[in-house]
Amino acid sequence: MAGWTIRAMEPGDLPRCAAIEATAPDPWTEPQLAEELTSDFGRLFVACRDGQIAGLAVFQLAAGEASLNALTVDPAARRQGAGRALLTGALAALRAEGAQSCFLEVRAGNAAARALYESVGFAAAGVRRGFYRNPAEDGVVMALNLD
């Protein structure tokens, strides 16, 4: 998407990313993000515009399968293409690393996120009853073939 730069998250990005995550219903903390950033399986990305981080995505990649664990955009930057740019850029990077598929869970009631995921090719693959807390809600499992 125009104007957005997608890149790998760096340790210096952690405070800003944790602040963005704090706006999510079930946020990742800065120590959790730091742990994932140093994990062999963690793949974390940020969306930047004008040098400022506006969103982050947390994936894991193992045995050709990527899992999206979080995608959060700063409320002030929503509806400006950051989420789509972040998702498509991260998926391209994961595909280049050998990912053949990607899975995620999304709140059943999060129509905007579901529409975003469907627009890049994800399809519903099942439901996990009571998957989310704060507030309690079902999770829709979505899958995308990256081959």
Residues serving a catalytic function are 105, 117
* DSSP string for 74-114: -GGGTTTTHHHHHHHHHHHHHHHTT--EEEEEEETT-HHHH
- CA 73, CA 79: separation in Å to the nearest integer? 9
52-62: strand order across its sheet: 5-8, 42-49, 52-62, 65-73, 101-107, 137-145, 123-132
Residues 41, 62, 49, CA angle at the centre, nearest 5°? 55
Secondary structure percentages of the chain, helix, strand, coil, to 5: 30, 40, 30
